[in-house]
Structure 1
Amino acid sequence: MTAQDHVHTDPADSPLGKAVATYRDTYAPELLYPMSRAPKREEIGITAANAGGRLPFMGADLWTAFELSWLTPRGKPEVALATFTVPCDSPNIIESKSFKLYLNSFNMTRFDSIDAVREALVRDLGAAAGAYVGVRLVLPEQFDAQPLHELSGLCLDRMDIDCDVFHPAPELLTAAFDELPVTETLTSNLLKSNCLVTGQPDWGSVQITYSGPQIDQAGLLRYLVSFRGHNEFHEQCVERIYMDILTRCRPVKLQVYARYTRRGGLDINPWRTSHPAAAPANVRNARQ
């Protein structure tokens, strides 16, 4: 029996916000808590019946784990960074606290090799997500080569604007439909939402690249700030932003990419695109 046999729809039943009496430090893939993407997608108008069952976007959730350790066959600890690529067309997300608890279960587990560690991660995460999950492990000798880079584009935060709406307000989005189309990349470091279950703050930076009618930048910034009081998981916030921009501003092409600060040694960086494109390099920014 795999984690995929226990797909959940209610985040309140997840480990989030609950005390953990005993942390497992030996391999326990059953700790993973997969949650169906479907209910939250239905809220924003994405259902299985849409466009013959096709999603209105492509993309992936790019995770980074900063706290991964295991034992060699002789009992010596090893450490690594790990990056995970979860395709957005997987039926499930993996609840982040369960992901952390699962990774902690490696701490006192002996593996024959780093390849065995990677194989376990690919197997277990794929079973939970319901699709192949890419895994890359970065060993300590490679740590110094890991880059740090801010999202590129024109930063909206330069504007001095009034903000008085703190729940998602797509009506703030407007575009110049009667003017020539543009192609531009806009960024903001002011994205903040809250955990769907605990209400704890989630801090992020967002990059929006589009071609089409020029989006009013002040309205877009006010819209992004409007998530400040909103409770939703990272992946769900990015898909809501994508769908609101797509619906209200009607771009020909659109990409939305957010990098959230880490919690529990994990960061989650969802990326959604309207067209085939290379995934962003999973490079952390200063706040991560």
Structure 2
Amino acid sequence: MGNSISPEIEQSLLGKSTEYSDQYNAGLLYPISRQPKRDDIGINPPTKEAGLPFFGQDIWNAFELSWLNLKGKPQVAMAVFRIPVDSDNIIESKSFKLYLNSFNQTKIESQQQLQHILVRDLSATAGAPVDVTLQALGGVLDGAATMQITEPKGRCLDGLDIEVKHYHPEPALLKNQNDLIIKETLYSHLLRSNCPVTGQPDWATVEINYTGKRIDKAGLLAYIVSFRLHNDFHEQCVERMFLDISQRCQPEELTIIARYTRRGGLDINPWRSSHRPSFENRRFVRQ
């Protein structure tokens, strides 16, 4: 069951041999409209003011950011980019990596100037204000305190002895176990989806926090596994999960966070929620 490739993705750099530029080039950034995939799963508010069925962000952590100071000395930093869920576009990941690499031999006056450039370029590409935080690295990893490896919260589903028959998203697997109203957090390391162009696997840990009727755990795990051969970008997988669980299980509150493993110095961590939670940008062991 393959997914058709949109013309805008075919025109992107994804899956193509590309020369790396080490001189700043904002033109490398490539936007992909969110709306066509949202139309596919029924997220099509008539106007922007009508709103989305969730809050959220796409959080990108960058571990390979470097530039030159005015004396030509290399500088390095980690960066966190927060792209709002109501932006017009996602940013194609390979173009993002090429863009960040284009700073490698570019002289920049200060970290503050670099941050200004990043905010300007990424916001223009996403079609909404993008928040950028830079963490400079010195003799000691200054970001170590904020990027410590932690465990997912809640109960792991992966030990359940289930039979798996579906490897494409199957919402019918989702059901409530009973009418008891509870609040719990469940997680799984078994989420795998695939790049819609190259077919390369994307691995993630997904955390599901909900309040409502108790969700059947075996069915939830089988549903998570059912993404294994599904072709979609990270952000689109999380939105599909949010809608399917919302519609099938009807929780009073729902938050889904997927922490995908790193590629090319970038990891992508979309979260979607029925409310506005305080989101901790925690790093899991596979990241």
**Shorter-chain TM-score above 0.5:** yes
User: What secondary structure is seen at the aligned counterpart in 1 of 2:94?
Assistant: helix
Q: Does 1:138 align with 2:139?
A: no
Q: For residue 149 of structure 2, what is the aligned residue in structure 1?
A: 148
Counterparts of residues 1-288 of structure 1 (less than 5 Å)? 10-20=8-18, 22-49=19-46, 53-141=50-138, 142-145=142-145, 146-176=147-177, 179-278=179-278, 280-288=279-287
1:143 CA drift (Å): 3.7
1:228 CA drift (Å): 0.3
User: What secondary structure is seen at the aligned counterpart in 1 of 2:90?
Assistant: strand
Residue deviations 1:96-152 (CA, integer Å, cap 9, x gap)? 000000001100100000001111101100000111111111111304333111211
1:16 CA drift (Å): 0.7
Give the whole-Å Cα distance in 1 for the aligned partners of 2:191 and 2:114.
35
Quick one: percent identity of the two aligned structures?
Answer: 55
- Which structure dedicates a bigger proportion of its chain to helix? 1
Give the whole-Å Cα distance in 2 for the aligned partners of 1:68 and 1:192.
27
51-60 or 255-264, which deviates more:
51-60
Give the whole-Å Cα distance in 2 for the aligned partners of 1:95 and 1:144.
28
Give the whole-Å Cα distance in 2 for the aligned partners of 1:50 and 1:83.
30
Give the whole-Å Cα distance in 2 for the aligned partners of 1:218 and 1:25.
49
User: What secondary structure is seen at the aligned counterpart in 1 of 2:218?
Assistant: helix
1:52 CA drift (Å): 5.9
Give the whole-Å Cα distance in 2 for the aligned partners of 1:208 and 1:50.
29
- Figure out how many residues of one structure are paired with residues of the other and give that number: 278
1:50 CA drift (Å): 7.7
Residue deviations 1:41-85 (CA, integer Å, cap 9, x gap)? 011100032896210000100101111000000000001111100
Q: For residue 5 of structure 1, what is the aligned residue in structure 2?
A: none
Residue deviations 1:2-37 (CA, integer Å, cap 9, x gap)? xxxxxx9622221110001x3111110011001110
TM-score normalised by L of structure 2? 0.94
Question: Which amino acid is the alignment partner of residue 265 of structure 1?
Answer: G
**Structure 2 unaligned residues grouped into runs of 5+:** 1-5
Equivalent pair of 1:83/1:136 in contact (CA under 8 Å)? yes
Question: Which amino acid is the alignment partner of residue 285 of structure 1?
Answer: F
User: What secondary structure is seen at the aligned counterpart in 1 of 2:268?
Assistant: strand
Give the whole-Å Cα distance in 1 for the aligned partners of 2:111 and 2:48.
42
Question: Which amino acid is the alignment partner of residue 286 of structure 1?
Answer: V
User: What secondary structure is seen at the aligned counterpart in 1 of 2:121?
Assistant: helix
Q: For residue 3 of structure 2, what is the aligned residue in structure 1?
A: none
Give the whole-Å Cα distance in 1 for the aligned partners of 2:125 and 2:60.
15
Once superposed, what is the RMSD of the aligned Cα atoms?
1.4
Question: Which amino acid is the alignment partner of residue 167 of structure 1?
Answer: H
**Structure 1 unaligned residues grouped into runs of 5+:** 1-7
1:180 CA drift (Å): 2.2
Equivalent pair of 1:63/1:84 in contact (CA under 8 Å)? yes
User: What secondary structure is seen at the aligned counterpart in 2 of 1:158?
Assistant: coil
Give the whole-Å Cα distance in 2 for the aligned partners of 1:62 and 1:52.
24
User: What secondary structure is seen at the aligned counterpart in 2 of 1:228?
Assistant: coil
